[in-house]
Amino acid sequence: MKTLSENACFGGTQGVYSHASTSCACDMTFAVFLPEEAKDGPVPVLWYLSGLTCTHENAMTKAGAQAWAAEHGIALIFPDTSPRGDDVADDEAYDLGKGAGFYVDATQDPWAPNFQMWTYITDELPALIGENFAIDMDRQGITGHSMGGHGALTMAMGLPGRFKSVSAFAPISNPTAADWGRKQLAAYLGDDETKWAAHDATLMMAEKGFDGPILIDTGTNDQFIDLLKPEALAAAIATKRQQATVRLQPGYDHSYFFVSTFMEDHVAFHADALYAE
């Protein structure tokens, strides 16, 4: 692991690091915020998964999460959204290839050699974090925006017991029924739609649900709301009688102005779960 930068931040440290990933077969970059309390021992952690076209840097610099994480004594992890490098497959469209890993393990060429983002986020990177940072891996929450909200919800439901809480900002909620989803799932996983279900939060909610609290915010002026399908996930939550708070925020769009506005609520929501006895 290489340290690319470390800066004092709200009494703690905001660092950016890189390492040679075995699952993605390329160098990967990620960011970690450690609050001041980490100097005295392991602290709970909130994962933030970013959306299409983003890297580790977008939320690190735009979401305003560090201030609220410092207030609650919580670490933050900002992974990248896809493998990177000259030898990594890509596509001319912004919603496939680099910056658009969709948090799945690709089985189809040309994506399979590198696009193993599910394994990277759920296995390889947590192991690296646990070995190198003062983070309590028994107290984890997960959140994300758009494609990252999709990843957060599917990982929370797909890994029972891993996360104590999950939230999402404008998540892609029903990708098997939307253009933001069908294209990417077919490209990465093939045409057998039965293999897509494990990466659709609405279908997973109907089948499994989540053993813990859920918070979801979506703006009513989100320019992509027809692709996000919040109503499908809300209906599955109601049918499942899942513990959840689902909010449509009037006037807000898909931007980081929206994310930063409600970041305080989300960090406090996770803090309540992570520090619960």
Q: Catalytic amino acids?
A: 146, 222, 254
Nearest to 51 by CA among 142, 122, 125, 150: 150
With beta carbons less than 8 A apart as the criterion, state whether 30 and 5 touch.
no
Q: Which residues pair with 143 in a beta bridge?
A: 48
Nearest to 1 by CA among 23, 13, 15, 17: 17
At a CB cut-off of 8 Å and minimum separation 6, what does 175 contact? 102, 150, 181, 182, 184, 185, 196, 199, 200
**DSSP letters along 257-277, please?**
HHHHHHHHHHHHHHHHHHT--
> CA 250 to CA 171: how far, in whole Å?
16
Report DSSP state, residue 121. Answer: I
Rg of the chain taking only CA atoms, in angstroms? 17
